[in-house]
Amino acid sequence: MSGSQGRRDILKLSGLGIAAGVMSSIGAGIGNVLTPEQAYAQSQPASLLRTVLDRKKLIVGTGSTNAPWHFENEKGQLTGMDIAMARILAKGLFDDADKVEFVKQDPAARVPNITTGKVDIVIQFMTISPARAQLVAFTRPYYVEGAALLTSPKSKYKTFKQLTAAGKSVKASVLQNVDADKLVHQGLPQAQVMQLDTQANVIQALDSGRADAAVVDLSTVRWMVKRSPNAYVDAGFSYYPMLYGAAVRQGDPDWLNWVNTCFNVAMFGHQTEIYDQAFEEFFAQKPPARKPGFPPF
């Protein structure tokens, strides 16, 4: 066989292999959903993955009072981006997004409830940090949070460009903490800082005109502008990125790896429906189209 003929045969076989692989995956996704029994057989005996599959439901620690992450709708049902991430896992485990039990908890209970085994996983707008990672195992991030600037149609300065140009004339409200002044000045170096005791008062200062801008989470800006476009404006600038991830108990690589796999498929693969719908519903944004090729994560 000549060298050129050999290369042609290899290319032909390679092309057939790729096509067969894609079609095989599509077929598996349609008609050959992995059963809990099959998944069970692949996990380590001590892994939480086996426990969850045997129990036939997922137990998730989360909150209920922080839109757009976790809150109750008009029917009293939990909803939000964190809730959607939990349903992605239930769908992956049981092919049923409703097979999940939510344990409502205070943010202070996130780490204790994981380490004591009260919940299988915490999905509660949890910022990933090296210090926390000494206590729990974090999944891959599912959102990049940040600080952003919320303004009002009634504000004298509505855009980031206008706020920056106004310099010392700008008053910015922010939630009170030791780093509040530093946080505001990273975005608006010359602004006057108004530290307030609650997030509600931070927003109220903007509503009343006492503040020209409120420095809040990017997700809060997008949620409020989506809900009340006539009352709030996104100034168009965000900064200070922070990673949000779910947390599981340390020492169980099977469970952690499975959760990461499920999140990856939901965010970047071929089963993006729940993630995309939630992202648009709560943040008024469509995730970019996934394109075959180099991994984006």
pLDDT of residue 59: 98
Asked if residue 225 is part of any domain, the answer here is yes
Residue 29 confidence (pLDDT) above 90: no
Cα 59 off chain centre by: 18
Asked if residue 153 is part of any domain, the answer here is yes
The CATH number linked to 207 is 3.40.190.10
Asked whether the whole model's pTM tops 0.95, one would answer no
Please tell me whether residues 128 and 262 are part of one structural domain. yes
Please tell me whether residues 132 and 157 are part of one structural domain. no
pLDDT of residue 16: 41
Asked if residue 15 is part of any domain, the answer here is no
Q: What is the mean pLDDT of the chain?
A: 89
Tens digit of each residue's pLDDT (9 = 90 or more) over 117-140: 999 999 999 999 999 999 999 999
pLDDT of residue 202: 98
Please tell me whether residues 227 and 279 are part of one structural domain. no
Please tell me whether residues 132 and 276 are part of one structural domain. yes
Asked if residue 1 is part of any domain, the answer here is no
DSSP annotation string for the chain: --HHHHHHHHHHHHHHHHHHHHHHHHHHHHH-PPPHHHHHHHS-TT-HHHHHHHHTSEEEEE-SEETTTEEE-TTS-EESHHHHHHHHHHHHHHS-TT-EEEEE--GGGHHHHHHTTSSSEEEEEEEP-TTGGGTSEE---SEEEEEEEEE-TT-S--SHHHHHHHGGG-EEEEE-STTHHHHHHHHSTTPEEEEESSHHHHHHHHHHTS-SEEEEEHHHHHHHHHH-TTT-EEEEEEEEEEEEEEEE-TT-HHHHHHHHHHHHHHHHSS--HHHHHHHHHHHS-PPPPP-SSS---
User: How confident is residue 34, by pLDDT bands cut at 50, 70 and 90?
Assistant: low
Apex CA 268: angle with CA 56 and CA 53, to 5°? Answer: 10
pLDDT of residue 31: 46
Range 227-234 contact pairs with CB under 8 angstroms and sequence separation of 24 or more:
230/153, 231/152, 231/153, 231/207, 232/150, 232/151, 232/152, 232/153, 233/150, 233/151, 233/152, 233/153, 233/155, 233/158, 233/159, 234/148, 234/149, 234/150, 234/151
How many separate domains does the chain show? Answer: 2
Asked if residue 16 is part of any domain, the answer here is no
Residue 227 confidence (pLDDT) above 70: yes
Stretch 48-58: mean pLDDT: 96
Please tell me whether residues 126 and 267 are part of one structural domain. yes
pLDDT of residue 43: 55
Asked if residue 19 is part of any domain, the answer here is no
pLDDT of residue 207: 97
Residue 203 confidence (pLDDT) above 70: yes
Stretch 277-284: mean pLDDT: 96
Please tell me whether residues 209 and 63 are part of one structural domain. no
User: How confident is residue 30, by pLDDT bands cut at 50, 70 and 90?
Assistant: very low
Asked if residue 290 is part of any domain, the answer here is no
Please tell me whether residues 116 and 182 are part of one structural domain. no
Residue 27 confidence (pLDDT) above 50: no
Asked if residue 293 is part of any domain, the answer here is no
Beta sheet of 70-72, edge-to-edge order: 65-66, 70-72, 78-79
Judge whether 271 and 135 are in contact, CB under 8 Å: no
Percent pLDDT > 90 in the chain is 81
Stretch 180-202: mean pLDDT: 97
Please tell me whether residues 113 and 162 are part of one structural domain. no
Tens digit of each residue's pLDDT (9 = 90 or more) over 37-46: 555 555 566 8
Of 242, 266, 292, which one is at a domain's C-terminal end?
242
Please tell me whether residues 114 and 165 are part of one structural domain. no
Please tell me whether residues 118 and 259 are part of one structural domain. yes
Tens digit of each residue's pLDDT (9 = 90 or more) over 235-252: 999 999 999 999 999 999
More confident residue, 106 or 10: 106
Tens digit of each residue's pLDDT (9 = 90 or more) over 75-130: 999 999 999 999 999 999 999 999 999 999 999 999 999 999 999 999 999 999 99
Please tell me whether residues 53 and 179 are part of one structural domain. no
pLDDT of residue 195: 98
Domain containing 219: what range? 145-242
